[in-house]
Amino acid sequence: MKSVTDGIFNDKIVTCDFRDAFKRGVWAQPQTYGSGVVEALKRQNVTCTLAHLRHVRTPSQYSGKVNDSRYPNKSHTGRFCPVETPEGENCGHLKTLALFAMISSHRDETDVLDNLSGYLQDVDEVPLQQLHVFDKVFLNGRLLGLSTRDEAKAAVLHLRNRRRRGAIHSEVRVLTFPAFHGELQIFTDGGRVLRPVFIVENNEWLLTDDNVSELHGLNNGEEKVRFLLQEGLVELLGPEEEEQCVIASRYSDLRSGIRYTHMELHPAAMLSITASTIPFAQHNLSTRVTYQAQKHSKHAIGYYSCNPSKRFDTTSDSLFYPQKQLVSTSMCRLLSPNDSAMMRGWPEKLMHGQSCVVAVACYDGYNQEDSLIFNQAAIDRGLFRSIHERTHRYNINLQSSEESFGRPVEEDGSPQQRYQHLDEDGFPEIGARLQSSQAVIGKTRKLKEGTVSNSSIFLKNFEEGSVKEVVRLPKIAQGSHDVNVKTASASFPHGGVKVKIASTRAPQAGDKFSSMHGQKGVIGCCLSQEDLPFTRQGIVPDVIINPHAFPTRQTLGQMLESIAGKAAAMGVRVNTTPFSSASPDQLGAALHRCGFQKSGNERFYSGLYGSMIKAEIFVGVCFYQKLMQMADDKIKWRRIGRHDSITRQPIKDRQKYGGIKFSQMERSSLVAHGAAASIQERMFHLSDPHQVEVCTRCDRMASIGRSRAPSCRFCKDKFPGFARLEIPYSCKLLVQELNSMGIDLRLVTDSSASLRGREDKN
């Protein structure tokens, strides 16, 4: 039944425009146009999601030459991470909040006004000649009144003491500028970047053992933060208020003789969430820390949600057996949500990697450059095995034509092979194995002429998997007020279907991996366990990396993590938090107590010959991440296929079975090997071979008429001799483009008249 309000209110005016703006990220109005206002939340893993929620964009032009806005500022310390920023035009403009930084919210002004009542004088009550001896008092940029210099100082001390006692909200900022402007600025508005620091009085830390005991008795982090603020142990400072403070970097600085007012919570508090999870980050090259913080940690495969089976994301990857790091930083332990009853028992699943036995050696030539050698037996046991899921969705569109779900049939009534896994309703069977180019959703469209066309959705090229789940959403009835139905099918007002396709992926040659220190690499070979080297205890490494990775990338932190992981496997707990981690001597001593060499080297035996390898090999336990760049998503091949209509060269789209660009670096590589036949095959026979007729008198390309007989437009019939050449079609286009610019280019053949003339003269 049609409702009375259906003709009055049209959801297309507001609802559809809002939905479209959120989907495309473009907000357009009659006089304004803005893009990038809405950004889809990234859910590759939990760390990626948390880091994305703390991004801060600078509202300026991203393109152009380098300017001061890209460089770190001294006011960014403790508020924005100095290492987590992307490459390219967004470098420096896209920042990330530091570990404990926060954005203030708007707070009530009543408490501030009540505490200022005894320190203010009305502007009208002060003579004009005495204004220069008074300080102006502002609240959120609004002039409240005047105050003498002594009263202004007393007001600042009073407000800060009340803030430390909890009488005024901790986000209220109190600034005084007596030397320059004679102003007292107070802010309670939102949008200010604040960071917490410890309060120091007379160079003494106010935190006592009783306070620590009370903190341990609290249940969650919010109660602990509230306790520290209300007890006057921690204070939130803004960049302007921080200029009037002297902050110590660590506890030992309080004994240096300098009078401090505050102390940092931890030196690693200036880093972001992703950067603070890197073990021994202070021992790595800064570019490697940036790679791990900005790229690798966000591309690592883990568990992105607590309910992945109930979600229908477009694409998702989940690791089968995520592990906690054997050696981790304090931030990794904070990310383990043990305080939440809902998330208890999930800290291992929230990680995005596994611990591997990593050896540093050159073995069999398959780990050159940054390639890796993997243990095939470890892969068979489930090492870095993941599941890739993709959701196909479609909603029935009733505006332009009538559509319905169903299995298409041929003219004789028999189903085609591409639709063999679809039922009569056009939906695939649960558990059916779909191959490339097979139908995943069957539907037909009834055209206006009365004919029925096939509009099914097929799997893309190189895509395959098993049907994991099929969900059909009902149509919303005209004038329906059922909230549950509208919520379930908000994106599909006319009814739709969602089909989830899943495929299991084991590590293979070409998959990309990275350690926590930016040591990225791809698998070069997967060797059987019998062919890999082993120690006298029978330990076989899971991964073998090239020794040249350390002097070129300068990631000493990975060496320390390998030693610490080796000791942790024997039951030794090691702190790897940046700027407060154990020293190399302490790690070596802990390793020596476990029965290993201090350096981490061990004697290995060859798996191929059984003899002892003469050189010692560095081996340890290191945390590795499987990145989302996998060979199954990148691989493509073609022998024949579609070509560009202009250049007659293979197209480049992978979904259309396009080719791979063979450019100067690949050509130079084959030239260095002397593979002339391979160069000709790649750049001519498999690209754009073409035959042309060349006039042997003037050495110009002949024209081919309707009779398919060659003729020279320059020589006419004076010398009707032609030679056939095989050249790339792009060369033929080059000749024609040069001719259009008045530049003549001639092709000299063995039978050309000019060549014969020179031979006669000789």
**Cα separation, 40 vs 433, whole angstroms:** 31
**Cα separation, 441 vs 444, whole angstroms:** 10
**Contact assessment for residue 311 and residue 390, using Cβ atoms and an 8 Å cutoff:** no
Domain boundary among 481, 505, 529: 505
Residue 29 is encoded by which pair of tokens?
């109005």
Measured CA angle at 660 (ends 294, 525), to 5 deg: 65
Q: Of the ranges 30-34, 168-172, 586-590, which one carries the lowest mean pLDDT score? A: 30-34
User: Rounded mean pLDDT of 301-313?
Assistant: 87
Name the residue type at position 319: L
User: Rounded mean pLDDT of 623-627?
Assistant: 96
Give Cα separations from 647 to 638, 639, 690, 730, 732 (angstroms): 18, 18, 11, 6, 10
Name the residue type at position 184: L
**Beta-sheet strand order (sheet of 386-395):** 315-319, 386-395, 496-505, 465-473, 433-434
Q: Is 667 helix (H, G, I), strand (E, B) or coil?
A: helix
Is 171 within a domain? no
Is 537 within a domain? yes
Name the residue type at position 706: R
- The enclosing domain of 640 has a CATH number of 3.90.1800.10
What pLDDT was estimated at residue 538? Answer: 93
What pLDDT was estimated at residue 488? Answer: 44
380 and 522 fall within a common domain: yes
Is 360 within a domain? yes
Is 138 within a domain? no
Q: Which domain holds residue 404?
A: 387-505
In the block, tokens 């309080």 appear at 254
User: Rounded mean pLDDT of 679-696?
Assistant: 90
In the block, tokens 């090239």 appear at 546
450 and 478 fall within a common domain: yes
Asked whether residue 76 carries a pLDDT value surpassing 70, the answer given is yes
The pTM is what? 0.83
Q: What are phi and psi of 326, to 5 degrees?
A: -65, -40
Give the percent of the chain with pLDDT over 70: 87
Residue 518 is encoded by which pair of tokens?
């930016």
List Cβ neighbours of 413 (8 Å cut-off, separation of 6 or more). none
**Contact assessment for residue 623 and residue 562, using Cβ atoms and an 8 Å cutoff:** no
Asked whether residue 618 carries a pLDDT value surpassing 90, the answer given is yes
**Cα separation, 94 vs 89, whole angstroms:** 9
Asked whether residue 466 carries a pLDDT value surpassing 60, the answer given is yes
Q: Of the ranges 482-491, 545-554, 704-713, which one carries the lowest mean pLDDT score? A: 482-491
Domain boundary among 644, 668, 685: 685
Is 492 within a domain? yes
Asked whether residue 484 carries a pLDDT value surpassing 60, the answer given is no
480 and 542 fall within a common domain: no
Catalytic residue among 135, 317, 370, 688: 370
Higher pLDDT, 28 or 295: 295
Is 50 within a domain? no
606 and 667 fall within a common domain: no
* 370 has catalytic annotation: yes
| Model confidence pLDDT, tens digit, residues 494-503 | 578 899 999 9
What pLDDT was estimated at residue 65? Answer: 64
Q: Of the ranges 33-42, 119-128, 235-244, 649-658, which one carries the lowest mean pLDDT score? A: 33-42
Where residue 490 falls among pLDDT bands split at 50, 70, 90? very low
Where residue 485 falls among pLDDT bands split at 50, 70, 90? very low
**Contact assessment for residue 385 and residue 506, using Cβ atoms and an 8 Å cutoff:** yes
Domain boundary among 505, 536, 561: 505
Name the residue type at position 123: V
Q: Can you list the alpha helix ranges (DSSP code H) found in 122-206?
A: 149-165
Is 135 within a domain? no
| Model confidence pLDDT, tens digit, residues 194-238 | 999 999 999 999 999 998 999 888 877 788 888 999 899 999 999
**Cα separation, 704 vs 713, whole angstroms:** 10
According to the per-residue pLDDT averaged within each range, which of 56-65, 96-105, 178-187, 742-751 is highest?
A: 96-105
Angle at which helices 221-230 and 209-217 pack, to 10 degrees? 150
Q: Of the ranges 252-256, 560-564, 617-621, 753-757, which one carries the lowest mean pLDDT score? A: 753-757
561 and 641 fall within a common domain: no
550 and 569 fall within a common domain: yes
719 and 666 fall within a common domain: no
Name the residue type at position 273: I
Higher pLDDT, 606 or 340: 606
List Cβ neighbours of 250 (8 Å cut-off, separation of 6 or more). 263, 264, 267
Give Cα separations from 514 to 278, 298, 299, 518, 549 (angstroms): 12, 12, 10, 6, 12
How many CA atoms are closer than 13 Å to the CA of 446, on its beta-carbon side?
9
- The enclosing domain of 395 has a CATH number of 2.40.50.150
In the block, tokens 């204004």 appear at 131
657 and 562 fall within a common domain: no
- The enclosing domain of 601 has a CATH number of 2.40.270.10
Q: For 218-256, give one letter per residue: b (16+ CB within 10 A) or e.
A: eeeeeebbebbbebebbbbbbbebbeeeebbeeeebbee
Is 737 within a domain? yes
What pLDDT was estimated at residue 7? Answer: 58
Query: What's the total number of domains in the chain?
Result: 5
* Mean confidence (pLDDT) of the chain: 85
Q: Of the ranges 59-73, 98-112, 158-172, 732-746, which one carries the lowest mean pLDDT score? A: 59-73
Higher pLDDT, 428 or 485: 428
**Cα separation, 268 vs 217, whole angstroms:** 25
**Contact assessment for residue 695 and residue 751, using Cβ atoms and an 8 Å cutoff:** no
DSSP 8-state symbol, 429: P
**Cα separation, 468 vs 474, whole angstroms:** 20
User: Rounded mean pLDDT of 733-750?
Assistant: 90
665 and 680 fall within a common domain: yes
Give the percent of the chain with pLDDT over 90: 43
669 and 693 fall within a common domain: no
CA 14 and chain centroid, separation? 33
| Model confidence pLDDT, tens digit, residues 93-122 | 889 999 999 999 999 898 899 888 888 888
Residue 507 is encoded by which pair of tokens?
């590590």
479 and 338 fall within a common domain: no
Q: What does the DSSP assignment read for 215-236?
A: HHH--SHHHHHHHHHHTTSEEE
673 and 716 fall within a common domain: no
